[in-house]
Amino acid sequence: MRSEGIGSYEEAIEYKKQMERLGIVPGLETMRRLAHRIGDPQKALQIVHIAGTNGKGSVLAFLSTALRFGGYRVGGYSSPAVFCERERFRVNGRPISKADYAKGMETVRRAAEQMEKEGFPHPTAFEAETALAFWYFKEKECNIVVLETGLGGLLDATNIIDAPVLSVLTAIGRDHMGILGDSLPEIAAQKAGIIKEGRPVVCAPQQPEVLAVIEAACAEKGAALHKVEPEAVKKARYGLTKQSFSYKGLEKLEISLAGGWQIENAALSVQALMTLGELGYPVSQRMLRRGLLETKWPGRFTVIDRKPLFLIDGAHNEGAARKLRESVIFHFTSRRIIIIIGVLKDKEYEKTAGLVTPLAEQVITVTPPAGKRALAAFELAGVVKAYNQNVTAADSLEEAVEMAYLLADAGSVILACGSLSYLGALSKIVKRKALIRRDTHGRSKED
């Protein structure tokens, strides 16, 4: 592993790529050693810890934005990155600077090198970046940090925190089954591992066997459980640019994120904000409303072009794919659908393909830029063929976008879905083509 110092962002990214070869190593021993060697910055932070299968990123975005408008200095740590690595580390919505990323990674590298000299394992890439996040948020003197688990909860690197202000559990379903367990209760037990002694928990609506695990964990830890009951979410109105709902006396709360599931995520966020208010972190109703409305979270049923309508969504497991299917049917009944899909080998890609691709008139498969984890486009095309005969494997993201535009007419909808790992690169291609089209029609790029 790299032994010379890190002096630039590019060198920091290269170091991270070296660590990625170590893969995923569940467990907290290495993470604790690493954090201790950089001064245990996590112990100085007030943390809202989020675990779950779907919706973690959106809930983090809702909470971070509302808390920022409420006057707090808010740190946010999420994964994976969609557009650039630095977006995973935010303070008041701004990504970490290249200089701070390099400085933080050098701090981590020195600690990791010392660990290796003492005969301990080198940290993984996720452990290193989690340590960097704790270091960065302490450096920036954040009042509160909203932290998303990377994988599971109990053995996730983020779970070295001892006493979060609040633990939040989003919808739990089947994902990473080879690592987290073969059944919903086993997976739920891993996610519920973020529940700490005496610290309150806010929980999204769950399947009965999942809720039983969460309730048992809360009882064992003496943790107060605040559940979002489905019937408390009322007057829901759905749309692509704005949606609204009412929750516990708060009427007509509006959000800009599209997708029916975002109302569920927003309701969970509102309950979390109510609970935080009781814990000494109040946000006025006016700022709560503004925070919900102004929350942005790219890659989740996000419109990136309008002529034709082009959306991206990172649905990569059965639960997310089922919700994506429902939203496509709801919003785009009787419209031609063209789907671009790319997936990772370690995800439930057959279920995702089976739920989403039958909706399309044409499916284009791509290979995500995710190294060995990526499922090749031609292999995915073979899977999709069982659900939709009109499938073509593209040689590149550029070719996939070009094909989709050629197939589409003014009323068509192009949907790129599957792994988040390729949606950032695809979005840049679409944006570039949209600029070229606008220039061709005699308008400047500034327009």
138 shares a domain with 270? yes
76 shares a domain with 222? yes
**pLDDT, tens digit (0-9, with 9 covering 90-100), for 114-140:** 999 999 999 999 999 999 999 999 999
Q: What is the dihedral of CA 88, 89, 92, 97, to 10 degrees?
A: -110
Is residue 447 in a domain?
no
Which tokens is 248 given? 């516990």
> What's the total number of domains in the chain?
2
Helix H segments across 279-410?
Answer: 285-294, 318-331, 349-356, 377-384, 397-407
415 shares a domain with 362? yes
282 shares a domain with 328? no
189 shares a domain with 142? yes
First to last CA, the chain: 48
Give the C-alpha distances (Å, rounded to integers) separating 149 from 182, 252, 291: 20, 31, 22
Which tokens is 242 given? 């704005």
> In this model, does residue 446 exceed pLDDT 50?
no
Q: Buried (b) or exposed (e) across 299-319, using 16+ Cβ within 10 A?
A: bbbbebbeebbbbbbbbbbbb
Boundary (domain end) residue, out of 259, 294, 329: 294
290 shares a domain with 312? no
Which amino acid, 107? T
Query: If you ran DSSP here, which 8-state letter would residue 6 be given?
Result: P
Query: If you ran DSSP here, which 8-state letter would residue 230 be given?
Result: G
What's the pLDDT at 345? 87
340 shares a domain with 280? no
What's the pLDDT at 447? 39
384 shares a domain with 260? no
Q: What is the pTM of this model?
A: 0.89
What's the pLDDT at 198? 97
Could you tell me what percent of the chain has a pLDDT over 70? Answer: 96
Any residues with CB less than 8 A from the CB of 430 and at least 6 apart, and which?
304, 305, 310, 401
Which amino acid, 385? K
What's the pLDDT at 262? 94
129 shares a domain with 272? yes
Check if the beta carbon of residue 330 is closer than 8 Å to that of residue 416: no
182 shares a domain with 35? yes
**Strands (E) located in 183-336:** 201-203, 225-227, 233-237, 243-247, 250-255, 302-306, 309-313
**CATH at residue 430:** 3.90.190.20
What's the pLDDT at 175? 63
Domain encompassing residue 327: 302-440
**CATH at residue 122:** 3.40.1190.10
> In this model, does residue 66 exceed pLDDT 50?
yes
313 shares a domain with 254? no
Pairing of strands 337-342, 413-418: parallel
200 shares a domain with 85? yes
